[in-house]
Amino acid sequence: MSLPDPQRDLGLIHTIGSGVSVTWRGRPLMSYTYEATDAQMESPRPYVHPVHTLGGDIVSLFRPHDHVWHKGIAWSLPNFGDDNFWGGVTYRREGGYQQLPNNGTMAHDTVVDVTVDDEEASFAHDLVWRTQSGDDLVEERRRLTVSIADVPDAWVLRWDTEMTNVSASSIQIGSPTTEGRDNAGYGGLFWRGPRSFTDGSLFGPEGPGGEELRGTRHPWLGLTGQHDSAGGFSSIVIVDHSDNLQHPPQWFARSENFGCLNPAPFFSEEYSFASRETLAFSYAVVIADGRAEGERATALANSGRRVLQGKATE
């Protein structure tokens, strides 16, 4: 285990063989579990939880009873050829949702880099995507980078992934919507908010909205929710990189039933992922104390965009 430097505001703790945690002035910001131990039905994969604001509020949820495979912030794909790297049931055009023997695993392979300085804390590792029957489909290089935002009361998680199809065949990547279920195109980087964020306020470049934003295209989208106990507010904004497939993406975003944000590159159109092809995606997740309305919402999104425009650590 590596320990944070008491002389540095940003700290990173690496629990070897398990995960990393990032702190700010001694207070937790996030923990990333890269060696998942979930049941196979939940499609074991790395996840970020808990996620804290700079003020200390938790803004993520782990294994909610309605969807136990939802885990904080995670990269998850439900319709990956015949396989499910999302967790739980799989939607099929014939028969609807079914529990199939197809829940794959995103298995940690090798730590590539662990770095922390005055400006950012970064962790990179290699993963192998395996089917439930044990076949390797994808080799992935993933990097998570934490920095303090250049606007007040916020920090940014940059998520970069490069996936290479190492199977002998093309893989059709889609969603329940490409299989026939209307407006259910989830898949990709998915954030599940705390239970108290239900009925929170969605917002985007055109202003506030609600469930009608699900399935619409935007370069960024956010949600403000209220916490139990003290009753304060926090806001999450996810910014899609302009180089990502299908930018600006359709969003699987919800405020009713539960709060979530998911820029979904395969929402309504399948992508044929060729053998030996590499797909890359980058996102900025801005975590902020307080409400985000009007100019502040735009400022948070612009802060995330500037992080994406900055030099990615190789």
Closest listed residue to residue 309, CA positions, set 245, 242, 222: 242
The DSSP bridge partners found for residue 263 are 251
Which pLDDT score is estimated for 3? Answer: 46
For 131, the domain range is 10-309
pLDDT value, residue 313: 37
**Nearest alpha-carbon partner for 249 in 162, 185, 163, 155:** 185
How many structural domains comprise the chain?
1
Inside any domain, residue 5: no
Reported as a single tens digit per residue, the pLDDT across 146-202 is: 999 999 999 999 999 999 999 999 999 999 999 999 999 999 999 999 999 999 999
Chain segment 59-108, per-residue pLDDT in tens? 999 999 999 999 999 999 999 999 999 999 999 999 999 999 999 999 99
pLDDT the model gives residue 8 = 72
Distance CA 299, CA 225 (A): 18
Q: Report how far Cα 296 is from the mean position of its chain's Cα atoms.
A: 22
| In a domain? residue 314 | no
User: What is the average pLDDT across 278-291?
Assistant: 98
Q: What is the pLDDT of residue 230?
A: 87
CATH number at residue 253: 2.70.98
Residue 3 resides in a domain: no
| Position 188 in a domain | yes
How confident is the model at residue 6, as a pLDDT?
A: 53
In a domain, 138, yes or no: yes
pLDDT per residue over 124-152, tens digit each?
A: 999 999 999 999 999 999 999 999 999 99
Indicate whether 5 pLDDT > 90: no
Structural domain contains residue 4: no
Condensed to tens digits (0 to 9), the pLDDT of residues 207-235 reads: 999 999 999 999 999 999 999 998 999 99
Question: Which residues are CB-contacts of 237 (< 8 A; sequence separation ≥ 6)?
Answer: 220, 221, 222, 285, 286, 288, 292, 297, 300, 301, 304
295 sits in which H/E element: helix 295-309
